[in-house]
A = this chain, B = another copy of it.
Amino acid sequence: MPPDPIPDTLTLADVRAAAARIEGRVLRTPVLHRAVGGAALLCKAESLQPTGAFKLRGAFSLMTTLPLDTPGVVAHSSGNHAQAVAWAARELGLPAVIVMPDDAPAVKRACTEALGAEIITVGPDSDERAQRAEELARERGLVPVPPYDHLLVAAGQGTAALELVEEAGPLQRFYAPVSGGGLMAGCATVVAALCPDAEIIGVEPEDGDDTRRSLAAGERLAVPPPRTLADGLRVRRPGALTFPILQKHVARIETVTDEELMAAMGWALIQLQLVLEPSGAASLAVALREAKASGNPSPGEKPDTEAPRWGVLLSGGNVDPALLASTLEGRTP
């Protein structure tokens, strides 16, 4: 059974409590500073988590609250959430069952299996996946670990922003990608509480802007299956629990094209020495676009200590090697 009681809203205290639960279990990722245009970018490298993405924070945040006699957990995912749940389950000594689509990349399946999880394969439809996970939860008494629509998961993801602000100080802007909204719900809660004047900016793929449309409409809208390189941002509708939190805190949503994602991945390789996946480079793509529009310091000038400080959440780095290689094309000297 899911932990009870589930809080009905998310506060800074919830994120601080999650931070205490996950301490020592996730990497305190570095914040890389870069002066770009007239802005100071403070890039939080969640791509360096042991499973290559921030998802580990939410998985540990929820799973550390489970009772000791929990028979196991179940999750459905084709990507980073699967690996995070499998990793956390192994660390906590819990069996994990992951429902994956039969078209999931072989490498992601192999990574999840190597962590000791039982893989159950279904068709490519995400509804079928969710339904099978629910059946497994009922049949075997497994606890579902949702990818985003759970406040303990969102609180865990928010610890990334908590570390960023603790380390880098007050922000004037905060950029993070938005898919189901768990990462943004947690992070926005932190940034709004600690940097009340900061502008909070969500980033979605141009095709896959369900949150942008939903915020404009004032209600959760679905979009057709998005066609975007950012496989982590293909959720079709904001989460039921996360959406009201985004409504409260997010100032605006910006969108990015596949070309901008590739360019930001290439920039990260050369300027940050970091591998990012397309979803992981989405917030960087928009921050770079807006920083370049904001002016340029002279060569040799020490970066303006009064320059606006923009937090940029780099969410993940699990990328296909062929795609990574293509971000470097045309960049050869």
B328 touching A324, Cβ below 8 Å: yes
Say yes or no: is A113 at the interface (Cβ < 8 Å to chain B): yes
Instruction: Tell me which of B117, B301, B321, B332 contacts A321 (CB under 8 A).
Output: B332
Q: Mark A235-276, 1 if CB is under 8 A from B, else 0.
A: 000000000000000000000000000000010011011111
Q: Does A135 interact with chain B (Cβ within 8 Å)?
A: no
Identical copies in the complex: 2
Tell me whether A301 and B269 are in contact (CB under 8 A). no
The answer to whether A273 and B48 touch (CB under 8 A), given A114-B299, A300-B116, A333-B321, is: yes
Contacting pair A269 B275 (CB below 8 A):
yes
Bound-state Cα–Cα, A275 to B270, Å: 8
Contacts of A317 in B (CB 8 A): 273
A90 at the interface (CB under 8 A from B): yes
* B residues in contact with A302, CB < 8 Å: 90-91, 116
Are A116 and B325 closer than 8 Å at their CB atoms? no
A48 in contact with B30 (CB, 8 Å): yes
Output the least CB separation between A203 and chain B (Å).
20
Residues of B within 8 A of A270 (CB): 275, 321
Chain B nearest CB, measured from A160 CB (Å): 14
Question: With A and B bound together, what is the CA distance between A274 and B274 in angstroms?
Answer: 5
CB distance from A74 to the nearest CB of B (A): 17
Contact with B along A284-300 (1 / 0, CB 8 A): 00000000000000011
Contact flags A303-332 to B (C-beta < 8 A → 1, else 0): 000000000000001101110110011011
The closest CB in chain B to the CB of A325 belongs to B328
Contact B27 A30 (CB under 8 A): yes
List residues of chain B with CB within 8 A of the CB of A332.
320-322, 325
Residues of B within 8 A of A276 (CB): 273
Q: Does A130 sit within 8 A of B, measured CB to CB? A: no
CB within 8 Å of B: which of A105-134?
105-107, 113-117
Tell me which of A29, A116, A321 has the highest count of chain B C-beta atoms within 10 A of its own C-beta. A321
- Residue A28 interfacial (CB < 8 Å): yes
Taking a contact as CB atoms under 8 Å apart, the answer to whether A47 and B328 are in contact is no
Report the bound CA distance from A272 to B258 in whole Å: 24
Q: Which of A78-124 contact B (CB under 8 A)?
A: 90-91, 105-107, 113-117
Tell whether A52 is near chain B: CB-to-CB under 8 Å: yes
Contacts of A52 in B (CB 8 A): 273
Instruction: Choose from B29, B34, B116, B273 the contact partner of A275 (Cβ within 8 Å).
Output: B273
Query: Can you list 26 contacts pairing A with B, beta carbon distance less than 8 Å?
Result: A27-B30, A29-B30, A30-B30, A30-B48, A32-B50, A33-B50, A47-B273, A48-B272, A52-B273, A91-B302, A107-B333, A114-B299, A114-B300, A115-B300, A116-B302, A117-B300, A269-B324, A270-B275, A273-B317, A274-B274, A274-B275, A322-B332, A324-B328, A325-B325, A325-B329, A325-B332
* Besides A269-B321, A273-B317, A320-B332, 7 other A-B contacts (C-beta < 8 A): A47-B273, A90-B302, A113-B300, A116-B299, A116-B302, A274-B274, A322-B328
